[in-house]
Amino acid sequence: MTPTLQLVLALGIIILAAKSMGYVSVRLGQPAVLGELLAGLVLGPTMLNLFSPPVFTDQYLSAVIRELGELGVIFLMFIAGLEMDLQAMLRAGKVSTLAGTLGVVAPIALAIPVGLLFRYDLSHSIFIGIILAATSVSISAQTLMELRRLQSREGTVLLGAAVIDDVIVIIILALFLAFNGTKMESVNVGVLIGQEVLFLGVAVFIGAKLLPRLVDWVSALPISEGVMALTLSVTLFYAWAAEELGAIAAITGAFLAGLFFARTSQRHAIERGMHTLAYAFFVPIFLISIGLGADAHLLQSNEIWLVVAIIIVAVISKIVGCGLGAWLGGLSAQQGLRVGIGMVSRGEVGLIVAMIGLKNDIINNSVYAGVVVMVLVTTLITPLLLRWAFASVEVTNG
């Protein structure tokens, strides 16, 4: 079978499994995203190992699936931005800043004693904290969209805090690498901050001043699906520029693109088109790919307690840190709890930081394995916790 046909077969299985498990999850009263994540775990090397049958011989197949999944998370965060009220986000700036900042401080503070307990020195313990400080709200955004709570006060604060979190983690990582003299090229922190500020400034200028006019101009041209083609191009450029030029995560760039396209005259047409494209194809692949990349068999028995400790710190630190920040910013204790829960999920940024640490001998394979398991566990429990947190409010209000 040719590599193309192998990819076609694999995608057919993945999309069918994702939607089927998502339906079962909804029927059981849980978010569809939870079922789709579990489907990935079942198809992955932990259980069925989808790519093990002899029909799949292409060595690059799993990599292609993973890259398509990365597109899925980019489009998912674009939709989150598209459905967000920019003015509400700006009004929540103080709360988001406090939640995002304390959501970085708390994991580092809690990781230090845990690292020391497992006989890592102070430097290694701090780096473990930096890994745990990186959050990824793509799963939370998906869950909140399902619950129709993305535009709630908590949802607005959550997404703003995620942007703040992303920027602070990158700066702290740069400072750590600079002061610890790693094998990486020396990092000029001032230049890094300048990159972030410049990217955000240019992105805001283009999005606020030029994009609405560009959308109106393209919509009048005799081009089939011209506005959708423009939307995809700009989203991908924003995602690329965020990471390559702005030194922040690609999903942050995609989120910003969504915020600005929401202010154009074609918002509803864009929303319909992106929902179809993302949720029928790319997002299911992203959710399944998380499970496909996890193999519980690689975890050694003597690493269990370290993994448990990393997971506990990952969950508690975000709930306490982000929740406290949101509460200090003026939200109620219940709202702060929901913001904290929404920040629990980890993802690609944490894995990237962990990989940097592994390559530079800052952490060992045991810690990296623990981080991979932590990402999977926090990704799975966040939808459950969010549904519980918002369900308790509905009961109270009822």
CA gap 25, 31 in Å, rounded = 6
Q: Which amino acid is at 89?
A: M
Q: What is the pLDDT along the chain (398 residues), one digit of tens a residue?
A: 899 999 999 999 999 999 999 999 889 888 888 888 889 889 988 888 898 888 999 999 999 999 999 999 899 989 988 988 778 878 888 999 999 999 999 999 999 999 999 988 898 999 999 999 988 888 888 888 888 888 899 999 998 898 888 888 888 887 887 777 554 444 566 787 888 889 999 999 999 999 999 999 999 999 999 999 999 999 999 999 998 998 888 888 999 999 999 999 999 999 999 999 999 999 999 889 888 877 777 666 667 888 899 999 999 999 999 999 999 999 999 999 999 999 998 876 777 788 778 877 888 877 887 888 888 889 889 988 999 998 865 544 44
Residue 42 falls within a domain, yes or no?
no
Retrieve residue 349's tokens.
Answer: 């940024």
In a domain, 15, yes or no: no
pLDDT score, position 398: 47
Positive or negative torsion for Cα 110, 115, 116, 120: negative
Q: How far is CA 208 from CA 80, 81, 221, in A?
A: 18, 14, 22
pLDDT score, position 71: 94
Q: What is the CATH number of the domain that holds 358?
A: 1.20.1530.20
pLDDT in tens, 73-117: 899 989 988 988 778 878 888 999 999 999 999 999 999 999 999
Q: Which two tokens stand for residue 215?
A: 């959308």
CB 284 within 8 A of CB 14: yes
Q: Residue with structure tokens 């560009």? A: 214
Residue 264 within a domain: yes
For the entire predicted model, the pTM comes to 0.80
Q: pLDDT tens digit string along 268-292? A: 999 999 999 999 999 999 889 888 8
Q: What's the half-sphere exposure (Cβ side, CA atoms, 13 Å) at 364? A: 9
Tally of domains within the chain = 1
Domain encompassing residue 330: 68-397
Residue 256 in domain: yes
Q: Does 50 fall in a domain?
A: no
Helix, coil or strand: residue 294? coil
The answer to whether position 14 is within a domain reads: no
Q: Is residue 143 part of a domain?
A: yes
Please check whether residue 247 is in contact with residue 192, taking contact to mean a CB–CB distance below 8 angstroms: yes
Provide the phi-psi class of 379: left if phi over 0, else alpha when psi is between -120 and 50, else beta.
Answer: alpha
Distance CA 173, CA 132 (A): 12
Helices (H), 181-298: 189-205, 211-219, 226-244, 250-261, 267-277, 283-292
Does residue 157 fall inside a structural domain?
yes
Token pair for 269: 């047409």
